[in-house]
C-alpha cells in the first residue's frame, strides 16, 4: 500500500511538472517549506543517488567532480557529498532532503523503468524534442525536500546530459541549500532598521548579531554572533571615497589586511591561502576573496570571505567582510549565512 501511494504521488506531481516547464532548466515551485508534509530527513548537504549500475559506472566521476567541489576555508570543505543508494532501499530514503534519479528511457533496468513509469506520457514530448531533460521537484514527498530527475532518451544522451548540465545540477542544489540557510537565518527576529539611522547603508541583520566594533570617523562597523554550539560569526561594513574605480586584486588584498589588522587585533592572511575572483554582491559587480585568516598574536585562525565593489553614484568603495572562528568544526555553512546577510546590504 505504501509503495502504491508513493507511486501515485510521483505521477501526479511530475505530470503537472511536464505541463508547466520547458527545457533543461525547468523548475517547479521553489518554496522551502511545505508544512502539510512530514519533515525531510538527513543532512542538508548530503545527496542520495538512485541509478542503474551501467549509468553509474560512467556518470559517477563527472557527477562527483561537479557536486563535490571543494571550498578552501581552513581545510578543503565540500558543499555537498554524494552517496549512491540501492534501489531496493527506496522506501527507506524517499523522504530524505536531497535525491537524484537517473533514467535512460530506452532501458528496462529497475531505476530507469521506475522513473519512466512515474513521469507520465507528457514527458515523452520533452524527451523527443530535446533528447533529455532535468526535472527538479520541490517538497515532493517531504517538507524541505529537493528531488532531481535526470532523464535521457538513450544511455548516450543521458551521459551527455550528465556532462553538459553538471553545473546546472550543482546550481540547483546550491540554490536550495542557500534558501534553506536563509530560512533558518531569518526565522528569528531581525534588528529594527532604526539601528542604522546614523549609517548611509543598512542590513537585514538577525537580532542575535550584536555590535562588535565601530569607528564612525573611518566608516567601519562590525557585528558578532556568538553561541556555545555554533561558530563565532563576524560581519563588517567599511567604505571610503574613491573618485574612480581602482579596485584591483592587489588593492583588495592590501586593504583587507589593513582593515583586519586594525580592527581585529592583528588578523591577516597570506596570498597563497586564498582564492580571489569576480563576484556579484547585493546587485553590484565586484571582487571576492575567500580563504584562511590567522592571528599570530593570539595563536588562532579561521575562515573569511570579503566582498568589494565600487558605487558609481556616491563614488565610494564598499567592503563587506565575513569572518568565522570555529576550531571545532566546518565553517562553510557559517560563511554562507554571512554571505546571505551581506546580500541584504542596501544604500539609503
Express each pLDDT in 26-51 by its tens digit.
334 566 778 889 999 999 999 999 99
Cβ–Cβ under 8 Å, residues 89 and 54: no
Structural domain count, the chain = 2
User: Which pLDDT score, from 0 to 100, does residue 29 have?
Assistant: 53
Q: What is the pLDDT averaged over residues 281-309?
A: 97
Q: Are residues 26 and 45 in the same domain?
A: yes
Tens digits of residue pLDDT in 219-277? 999 999 998 889 999 999 999 999 999 999 999 999 999 999 999 999 999 999 999 99
- Cell digits of residue 144: 524541505
Q: What percent of the chain has pLDDT over 70?
A: 90
Q: What is the pLDDT averaged over residues 44-72?
A: 96
Cβ–Cβ under 8 Å, residues 239 and 316: yes
Q: What is the CATH number of the domain that holds 323?
A: 3.40.1000.10
Q: Are residues 173 and 232 in the same domain?
A: no
Per-residue CA distances from 240 to 63, 185, 248, 311, 319 (Å): 44, 29, 15, 11, 9
Q: Are residues 157 and 201 in the same domain?
A: no
Q: Are residues 116 and 22 in the same domain?
A: yes
Q: Are residues 233 and 315 in the same domain?
A: yes
Q: Are residues 130 and 278 in the same domain?
A: no
Tens digits of residue pLDDT in 178-198? 999 999 999 989 999 999 999
| Residue 31: strand, helix, or coil | coil
pLDDT higher than 90, residue 125 = no
Q: What is the CATH number of the domain that holds 163?
A: 3.40.50
Cell 524527451, located at residue: 127
Nearest to 286 by CA among 304, 306, 258, 269: 306
User: Which pLDDT score, from 0 to 100, does residue 201 have?
Assistant: 98
Q: Are residues 146 and 173 in the same domain?
A: yes
Q: Are residues 210 and 311 in the same domain?
A: yes
Q: Where are the beta strands (DSSP E) in 54-200?
A: 70-72, 76-78, 81-84, 98-104, 132-138, 146-152
pTM for the full predicted model: 0.88
**For residue 247, what are the domain limits?**
193-347
| Dihedral of the alpha carbons of 46, 51, 54, 56, in degrees to the nearest 10 | -10
User: Which pLDDT score, from 0 to 100, does residue 31 have?
Assistant: 65
Q: Are residues 178 and 31 in the same domain?
A: yes
Q: Are residues 138 and 242 in the same domain?
A: no
pLDDT higher than 70, residue 326 = yes
Amino acid at each position: 500500500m505504501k509503495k502504491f501511494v508513493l507511486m501515485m504521488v510521483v505521477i501526479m506531481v511530475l505530470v503537472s511538472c511536464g505541463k508547466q516547464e520547458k527545457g533543461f532548466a525547468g523548475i517547479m515551485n521553489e518554496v522551502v517549506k511545505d508544512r502539510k508534509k512530514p519533515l525531510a530527513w538527513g543532512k542538508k548537504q548530503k545527496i542520495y543517488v538512485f541509478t542503474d549500475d551501467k549509468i553509474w559506472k560512467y556518470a559517477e566521476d563527472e557527477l562527483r567532480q561537479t557536486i563535490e567541489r571543494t571550498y578552501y576555508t581552513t581545510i578543503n570543505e565540500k558543499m555537498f557529498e554524494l552517496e549512491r543508494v540501492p534501489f531496493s532501499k527506496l522506501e527507506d530514503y524517499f523522504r530524505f532532503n536531497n535525491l537524484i534519479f537517473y533514467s535512460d528511457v530506452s532501458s528496462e533496468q529497475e531505476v530507469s523503468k521506475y522513473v519512466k513509469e512515474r513521469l507520465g506520457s507528457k514527458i515523452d514530448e520533452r524527451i523527443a524534442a530535446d533528447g533529455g531533460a532535468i526535472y527538479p521537484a520541490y517538497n515532493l514527498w517531504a517538507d524541505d525536500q529537493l528531488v532531481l530527475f535526470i532523464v535521457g532518451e538513450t544511455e548516450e544522451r543521458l551521459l551527455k546530459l550528465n556532462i553538459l548540465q553538471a553545473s546546472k545540477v550543482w546550481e540547483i542544489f546550491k540554490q536550495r541549500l542557500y534558501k534553506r540557510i536563509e530560512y533558518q537565518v531569518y526565522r528569528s527576529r531581525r534588528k529594527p532598521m532604526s539601528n542604522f539611522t546614523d549609517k548611509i547603508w543598512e542590513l537585514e541583520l538577525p537580532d542575535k548579531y550584536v555590535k562588535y566594533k565601530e569607528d564612525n570617523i573611518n566608516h567601519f562597523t562590525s557585528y558578532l554572533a556568538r553561541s556555545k554550539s555554533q561558530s563565532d560569526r563576524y560581519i563588517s561594513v567599511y567604505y571610503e571615497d574613491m573618485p574612480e574605480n581602482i579596485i584591483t586584486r592587489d588593492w583588495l588584498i592590501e586593504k583587507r589586511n589593513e582593515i583586519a589588522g586594525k580592527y581585529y587585533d592583528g588578523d591577516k592572511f597570506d596570498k597563497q591561502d586564498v582564492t580571489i575572483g569576480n563576484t556579484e554582491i547585493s546587485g553590484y559587480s565586484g571582487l571576492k576573496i575567500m580563504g584562511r585568516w590567522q592571528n599570530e598574536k593570539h595563536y588562532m585562525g579561521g575562515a573569511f570571505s570579503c566582498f568589494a565593489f565600487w558605487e558609481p553614484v556616491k563614488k565610494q568603495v564598499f567592503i563587506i567582510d565575513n569572518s568565522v572562528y570555529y576550531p571545532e568544526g566546518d565553517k562553510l555553512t557559517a560563511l554562507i549565512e554571512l554571505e546571505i546577510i551581506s546580500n541584504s546590504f542596501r544604500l539609503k
